[in-house]
Structure 1
Amino acid sequence: MPFIDQLQRWARTAGQNAAVVVGEHRLTFAQLLAAATSTPGAAQLVEVIDEPTSTALAARFCAAVYSGKVAMVIDAQGSPDLRHRLRDAALDWANGADHGGSAEPPFLLGLSSGTSGLPKAFTRSSASWQESMGRSVEFFEVTERTVTLAPGPLAASMNLYALGESIYAGSTFVALPHFSTAAALAAMAEHNVNRLVLVPTVLELLAGAGLRTQQSGQQLASIVCAGSALSAGALALAREWAPNAAIHQYYGAAELGFVAASGVDRTGTPAMPETSVGTAFPGVQISIRDGHGKRVDRGVEGTIYVKSPYVCSGYAWGDDGLAFSSLAANAPWRQDGQDRVESELEVESDAREWFTVHDQGRLDNAGRLHVLGRASDMIVTAGANVYPHAVEAALAAAAAASFDGRHVSVLVTGREDPLRGQRLVAGLYASEGIAAGAGERNATALLARCRLAAAKLPASHRPSQYYLLDALPLTGSGKISRAIFTQWLNEGDPRAQRLH
């Protein structure tokens, strides 16, 4: 059972130490183990946990794992209809005869974020988490003295993992009943937090608020970011606020686990080039493949595949073949009438062990991974393929120069266009400056800077429209969402105002 053996160990040897703290409530290791072993579970195989982030949620999760049930944590902020449908889907799955054909039953039903409809649910073995935690506590230097704050909801996979990781290491995990920068900064001070696990957007908000209110992050020894790229502006802001922290960024996916990671040392020197997400995480192999499944040379772009003990076991529901899949499943076949007789690719003996979520990228000569984006994020405009991240990076550098650079986020999406298929549209969000009322002059300067930077890009990569955002379009887990931004544009949402 992932982390439960460790929970039992820490309950014996450090039982009075704080294990989980949420708001005014806390559980020691001894109390958490007692709650996990005494909490009545559901009669069925799956334990659906549908409640806000709290010590009670942590206890129910541990209880489900301890009892050998399959845990599924639902975002309590979701609509009642969606939550009801997820519960029904989980119970239907639990009542089915086949749970993926795995000899080992899963311990977790994880939910993969989607733009609409019912989220996909993947299954994960206890071994995938157990081996991952053994590696991650060493890589991120999590010890008994670590106090981790994950300010996002526990329903998000990276935060739920951080909870298990903290228990595994015998350290303290802190979460917030409701996120705000004030609540996060207060929790850091009250509980002597020395490690953050969060997405770059939240780090930038937290660092900016800390600097404005003179609440230093000097006590932080470690910051771990995931979910999206950490921009140069966000990194500079974090470094100013938390000068003593080692800043790690990792690339992964809920279905894949850790894939690659990089770091910034405590002097502020990046361990990797800015465009890289790092080298393969310990235990992971990375391969870049073309559309036929063949390996490509270093420096050539293609689909990112991983061979890893951390990958999930497959989908319980929602598998449309467009997300998590194996190399063997993706290999093209030659048709002979109605029969698939052989693969155009000489399928490798371990082809069923290589998996992808169809992110695109390349490996450089030093083995560093550069991620272009999800294949589904690609914008096709006038026949050209454009990955938004490349455009965002170029514009963000220009936007940063306009406002001492640390407070402008750039988001690029595609909108339907009758001539080009899609046209590029950029959204600009300033947490200070424009958003604080600096006025039309700053907005004009920002637009001019971005257009100047865009002029240096290929014509296909230049946005045709720019919007000033009053808020960031965020998912429930705090990740910036292009889909939500596009929805704002299509609906004429006042949070996105056209810049001329």
Structure 2
Amino acid sequence: MEQMTSLPCLRPSRTSRLLHCGSAIDHPYVERSTGGRVTTIRPTPVRPSLLRILECLWSGAPFCVTNGADVDYDDDPDVIHSQSSGSTGAPKRIRRHASSWTASFEQNKDLFGITSSDRSVILGSLDSSLSLYALCEGLHQGITVDVVSGEKPAVQKTALQDATILYATPTQARVALNQPFQNLRVIAIGGGHLDDKTRAAIKQNAPNARVVEFYGAAETSFVTMSDDNTPAGSVGSPYPFVQIEIRNADKNGIGEVWVKSPYLFDGYASPELGQTRTDGSWVTVGEIGALRDGYLYLMGRSDRMFTVADRNYFPEPSEAKLATILGVDHIAILPRSNDIRGAVPIILYQGDIAPDQMQDAARQLLNADAPKKAFRLSTFPLTLSGKPDIAALRGMVDRL
């Protein structure tokens, strides 16, 4: 495989401009750090948070953006602590060296033809790894970055009118891109599956944009990239310099997805690994899938799989289909204990569609895999990245 090089630090380019709701934030002039106590930065208020992030980026001081407990230990220079989405449990604090991000900054600059005239907008909270990544990448590449985290939709949409580049989760895209944005030329989706309905809406409202979807995790960063030419059901082909192996595969080639790349994390700040395992320079986060003709297909995470009548049931593919139903805002499929079948799948959702209509639609879309019960929630718990909070939803199942 061709060799790649990456810059070792996250220091912004002098041509970059950082804005908060259109108002400029000056770059600080700080001395280079040799490491030390990790700087804990709260994601709000946003402007002071951005100032502290800038100081750490310029100095190389290790930092962590979190609403959790202060980080009370020392670390090396040019180390970032971010956190996982926590969709299936408590968010994990992820430790990575700057070079694991700058390596992909250079790749994306070439992939998307990014120049100093580009302008990106940050919609999500700064303690989301996707938002923090997009912020650091834009500053490193020398473009203008306007941060509108936590602002009202009207403010975010005003900022988007001038944007050419957007990193967003599917939920953020659904909310923000519901009107025309002619200047957007790159829309990169991460943090969840982009359903066909949302993709079509994005294409209609941002007709000049190249829409790409990245699959990865906070631990792995980019793994695959998909676009309009990707086969249906696949999350794409390997991102540059990524190697993928399927281990412990069954007769259908379905097994554990293992990844090796320059973009991997260094480990967790705490010893708890959960579903994540390492093998030398390879890592898995517990995803189950298959490689076919160079494209990766995912069944789901092993920690979300459950057994129905002695058959492994992966809810994620069914959730992706049900998310396309008109009137569905958020949805998840969870197991409910059953004396005969071990467990049965049930639907938890938020939206305008009635439960009996949801069940009818599920039968049409999923056939034998359709859950037999659907429960509409007035409040649907979400993670910081806008994904269903599976841990919270699991706690609700027995009360329904």
**Fold conserved (TM > 0.5)?**
yes
- CA apart distance, 1:235: 0.9
Secondary structure (helix, strand or coil) at the match of 2:275 reads coil
In the other structure, the counterpart of 1:481 is 389
* 1:225 Cα offset (Å): 0.5
Aligned with residue 244 of structure 2, among 286, 291, 297: 286
Query: Residue 205 of structure 1 corresponds to which residue in structure 2?
Result: 175
Aligned equivalent of 2:46, options 48, 54, 61: 54
Alignment partner for residue 144 of structure 1, among 113, 116, 125?
116
Instruction: Give, in angstroms, the shift of residue 409 of structure 1.
Output: 4.7
- 1:253-292 equivalences under 5 Å are 253-263=217-227, 270-290=228-248
Corresponding residue to 1:424 among 341, 345, 365 = 345
Query: Which residue does the alignment assign to 2:148?
Result: 176
Tell me which residue corresponds to 2:21.
Answer: 23
After superposition, residues 69-108 of structure 1 pair within 5 angstroms as 69-75=61-67, 83=68, 86-87=69-70, 90-91=71-72, 93-94=73-74, 107-108=79-80
Structure 2 partner of 1:331: none
1:2 equivalent to 2:15? Answer no
Q: Which residue of 2 aligns with 1:411?
A: 332
Q: CA deviation at 1:161?
A: 0.8
Q: State the partner residue of 1:348.
A: none
Q: Alpha-carbon deviation of 1:246?
A: 0.8
Q: Residues of 2 paired with 1:253 and 1:220: CA distance?
A: 25
- String of CA shifts for 1:90-139, please: whole Å, max 9, x gaps: 21x43xxxx7xxxx766112222336886432221122122121112222
Partner of 1:447: 359
CA distance in 2, matches of 1:358, 1:179: 35
- Contact 1:304–1:356 (8 Å) recurs in 2: yes
Deviation at 1:257, TM superposition (A): 1.1
Distance 1:22 1:133 in 2: 22
How far apart are residue 375 of structure 1 and its match? 0.9
| Cα separation, partners in 2 of 1:470 and 1:207, compared to 1, 3 Å | farther
SS of residue paired to 1:311: coil
Is the Cα contact below 8 Å between 2:119 and 2:145 reproduced in 1?
yes
Are residues 198 and 444 of structure 1, via their aligned partners in 2, closer, same or farther at CA, if it must alter by over 3 Å? same
Alignment of 1:317-356 (within 5 A): 317-320=270-273, 322-327=274-279, 352-356=280-284
Q: Which amino acid aligns with 1:371?
A: L
CA spacing shift, 1:240–1:370, aligned 2, 3 Å: same
Corresponding pairs, count: 393
Which runs of 5 or more structure 2 residues have no equivalent in the other structure? 1-7
CA distance in 2, matches of 1:416, 1:476: 29
Please tell me whether the aligned partners of residues 36 and 77 of structure 2 are also in contact (alpha carbons under 8 angstroms): no
The answer on whether the counterparts of 2:28 and 2:58 sit within 8 Å (CA) in structure 1 is no
2:5 aligns to what?
Answer: none
Displacement of 1:167 in angstroms is 0.9
Contact 2:359 2:371 (C-alpha < 8 Å) held by counterparts:
no
| CA distance in 1: counterparts of 2:265 and 2:184, whole angstroms | 32
Letter in 2 for 1:480: P
TM-superposed deviation, 1:354: 1.2
Distance 1:301 1:374 in 2: 12
- Opposite residue 422 of structure 1, the aligned amino acid is A
* Whole-angstrom distance in 2 between the partners of 1:389 and 1:117: 16
Q: Which amino acid aligns with 2:347?
A: A
Deviations 1:247-270 (A, max 9, x none): 11000111111100012xxxxxx1
In the alignment, which of 375, 381, 394 is matched to residue 467 of structure 1? 375
Offset, 1:179:
4.1
Residue 32 of structure 1 aligns to a residue whose secondary structure is coil
Structure 1 residue 303: Cα displacement: 0.7
Q: Which has the larger radius of gyration?
A: 1
Asked if 2 retains the 8 angstrom alpha-carbon contact of 1:290 and 1:303, the reply is yes
More helix by share: 1
Alignment deviations for residues 228-258 of structure 1 (CA, whole Å, 9 cap, x no partner): 1111111112112222211110001111111
Closer/same/farther in 2, CA of residues 411 and 51 from structure 1, 3 Å limit: closer
The CA deviation string for residues 304-346 of structure 1, in whole angstroms up to 9 with x for no partner, is 11110110111221424x333213xxxxxxxxxxxxxxxxxxx
1:344 alignment partner in structure 2: none
> Is the Cα contact below 8 Å between 2:257 and 2:289 reproduced in 1?
yes
8 Å Cα contact 1:260-1:281 kept in structure 2 = yes
Q: Is the 2:358–2:374 contact (alpha carbons within 8 Å) kept by the matching residues of 1?
A: no
Amino acid at match of 2:286: H
Aligned to 2:299: 372
**Which of 280, 289, 314 is the matching residue for 1:361?**
289
Report the Cα distance in structure 2 between the residues aligned to 1:112 and 1:444, rounded to whole angstroms: 35
CA contact (8 A) 2:308 2:341 kept: yes
| Structure 1 stretch displaced more, 478-487 or 383-392 | 478-487
Residue 310 of structure 2: aligned partner: 383
Distance 2:90 2:213 in 1: 29
Per the TM alignment, residue 471 of structure 1 is displaced from its structure 2 partner at its CA by 4.9
**Is the CA contact 2:123–2:168 (under 8 Å) kept in the aligned structure 1?**
yes
Q: 1:139 to 1:415 in 2, by over 3 A?
A: farther
For structure 1, the residue ranges without an aligned partner over 5 or more in a row are: 76-82, 211-215, 264-269, 328-351, 493-500
Between the aligned partners of 2:321 and 2:88, the Cα distance in structure 1 is: 30
Alpha-carbon distance in structure 1 between the residues aligned to 2:94 and 2:358: 42
Partner of 1:310: helix, strand, or coil?
A: coil
Higher relative contact order (CA 8 A, sep 6+): 2
Q: Match of 1:474, as an amino acid?
A: L
**Residues 48-85 of structure 1, C-alpha deviation per residue, up to 9 Å, x if partnerless?**
1124162432231232243342211113xxxxxxx3xx
Task: Report the counterpart of residue 246 of structure 1 in structure 2.
Answer: 210
What secondary structure sits across from 2:347 in the alignment?
A: strand
SS of the residue aligned with 2:360?
helix
* 1:310 lines up with 2:263 in the alignment: yes
2:215, 2:121 → 1: CA distance? 20
Secondary structure of the equivalent of 2:166? strand
Q: 1:218 to 1:156 in 2, by over 3 A?
A: same
CA separation of 1:490 and 1:137: change in aligned 2, threshold 3 A:
farther
Could you tell me how far apart the structure 2 residues matched to 1:490 and 1:391 are? 21
Q: CA deviation at 1:221?
A: 1.1
TM-score normalised per structure 1: 0.72
Q: What is the CA RMSD across the aligned residues, in angstroms?
A: 2.8
* Aligned equivalents of 2:380, 2:211: Cα separation in 1: 23
